[in-house]
Amino acid sequence: HLNVVQNDADQILAERLFKKFNADCLCGSPTVIIAFAERLQDADIRKKVCCLELAQERCTPQQMQFLKDAFPEATIMSTYALSEVATTLGEPCAESLKVSPYNYHLDSSVTLYEFIDPITLQPSDPSKNACELVVTSLESEQPFPLVRYQTGDLIAVESEDCPCGRG
């Protein structure tokens, strides 16, 4: 894995490290990985990348297409996290990636999830309507856990189990 950086000096260093350590996966925000790809001098690196791990921001359809074109051999996945709870809330599996890089399995081992209507703020069924995600951290590096934190994120939950077997 190589975490991608933003300035020209770091770009040159990142390319050298990529080659030196024989890396094949890039991790970072879509914006930063795109900037890295646009300035990439070595076309062999593009062909070698087999995995892009996107984080920190949602990738637009245009950005996603650029990444697919720039790294044609790469599987693209995106993690869902909140810095406020200091943990990853959701990650895709191989089966869900076949559908979309934005289908996540929510990890309920360290976070309690609630789904509310974004207008009424009443509990709602995310398999029927888009709901706002509310989280309570059960375990965190932070000295004070967040309790019923309204994320502002609208989500929908698939009513069927994932083909991988997880709910």
Q: What DSSP string describes 95-106?
A: HHHTT-TT--EE
Pairing of strands 80-82, 87-91: antiparallel
pLDDT of residue 93: 75
pLDDT tens figures, 1-55:
445 555 667 777 777 887 888 888 888 888 888 988 887 767 777 788 888 988 8
pTM greater than 0.85: no
* CA nearest neighbour of 15 among 35, 29, 30, 31: 35
pLDDT of residue 6: 57
Distance of alpha carbon 89 from the chain centroid: 10
- Sign of the alpha-carbon torsion through 38, 41, 79, 141: negative
pLDDT tens figures, 95-142:
777 777 677 888 788 888 999 999 999 999 988 889 999 998 887 566
Buried b (16+ CB within 10 A) or exposed e, 7-40: eeeebeebbeebeeeebeebbbbbbbbbbbbeeb
3 state SS of 34: helix
pLDDT tens figures, 60-99:
889 989 999 999 999 888 888 777 776 777 777 777 777 7
